[in-house]
Amino acid sequence: MTDLVTRVAPPTAGALRRAAPALLGYAAVRAVGLLALALWSAGRDKSAYTLLTARWDALWYTRVAELGYGYEVRLANGDVHSNLAFFPLLPWLERLVHAVTPLSYADGGFVVSLLASLAAAWGIFAVADHVYGRRAGVCAVLLWAVLPVGIVQSMAYSESLFTALAAWALYAVLTGRWVTAGLLASLCGLTRPVGLAVVAATWAAGIISFVRNRSSAPTSGAPEEEHSPALRRIALGLLLAPLGTAGYVLWVGHRTGRGPLGYIDVQAGWRNGFDGGYAFARFVADKFTSLPGALAGLGLIVGVALVVWLYVVCVRQRQPLPLLVYAGVVTALALCASSYFGSKPRLLLPAFPLLLPLALALSRLRTPRSALVLGPVAVASAVYGALWLNGSGPP
């Protein structure tokens, strides 16, 4: 496993110029996806913008932004869907956009997601460039853009916002900016439950760096006073990292009167939890009761095997520890959740380190060949996204 490398990050202007090809390529792919969605939706007499901003989870976020917490839906089977399941950072930003512009809450969610998706693309580039170089960084961003469920990156969902915060938090860890990493990890914890993955990555890398700095102080010849500020920054970053997740979970527990178990109860009302993948395995097994279902089940098995294989390759390629911890936790939480099986591809969107082995391989090709690979995939992703949102869509 590679050691943490803490090269000094380039100035912002230079970093933006370096990332420009990745950001332009990402914007082009997303534009193709939005165009495909607009054309397909128009042909079915539907509003593409409504599909992006006022369906499924996007409605829950805008209700939180407009009315605050406390809304719930009681289903006929006794389940209670409470909006306390949705973390607050995206609704806060929607409310902010609505307060300072004439845009609606839903419009604000769309704007936040568009800007966050570009920030996420830049963060992914920064991480991949830091580890493997510029060409791999560009390829990593384009691979993230052309994922089959990439259209979610343009929806008023929290995936793009979370990925942006997570990518830059990991970059801060890799470059030794511990206080920044802790602050960004805390914001991740206010965005999605999987913010725990960023906290885990920050803590894993931070503890190792803290121990190394502390043990090197007596033997490096430098005065202890020179090591103390570095140790304090690491410690402060580690203390900041879990505050977002802990703060929201404790607040939900206080509001529900259930203490630390309050948020677990809220998720149980959605029939969502962590069972080690048992329910998902049963879901896949049940597909094999018919021929069409068997084909779908086989596709699910291949998809899970591909994800696991990519993670194994990441380990073999000795990715930095924070990337391995982060991708491992995101993947485990996505695959081992006990409900919303159709959401698993969407839940894996933030696990961008899994794409780095493919990006590294693609970066070794000449530009025309890599374009020949990515071009058709981008078109297929755009068509799939249009069909998906006009059909079952992401729950």
Q: What is the structure's pLDDT at 51?
A: 94
Residue 232 in this model has a pLDDT that exceeds 70:
yes
Nearest Cα neighbor of 79 from 274, 256, 272 is 272
Q: What is the structure's pLDDT at 392?
A: 77
> Across the chain, what does the average pLDDT equal?
90
Confidence band for 1, pLDDT divided at 50, 70 and 90: very low
Helices (H), 44-102: 48-53, 57-67, 89-100
Q: What's the DSSP call for residue 274?
A: B
Q: What are the residues facing 81 on neighbouring strands?
A: 73
Q: Using CA of residue 387, residue 391, residue 392, residue 395, what is the dihedral sign?
A: positive
Mean pLDDT is lowest, of 170-174, 277-281, 356-360, 368-372, for 277-281
Residue 12 in this model has a pLDDT that exceeds 80:
no
Nearest Cα neighbor of 249 from 235, 259, 236 is 259
Q: What is the structure's pLDDT at 275?
A: 76
Q: What is the structure's pLDDT at 336?
A: 87
Full-model pTM:
0.93
Mean pLDDT is lowest, of 33-37, 190-194, 263-267, 349-353, for 263-267
DSSP letters spanning 41-54 = HHHTT--HHHHHHS
Average pLDDT of 26-38?
97
The rounded Cα 393 to chain-centroid distance in angstroms is: 18
Higher pLDDT, 107 or 257: 107
Q: Residue 179 class from Cβ within 10 Å (0-12 exposed, 13-18 middle, 19+ buried)?
A: middle
Nearest Cα neighbor of 327 from 89, 140, 178 is 140
Q: What is the structure's pLDDT at 99?
A: 96
Residue 292 in this model has a pLDDT that exceeds 80:
no
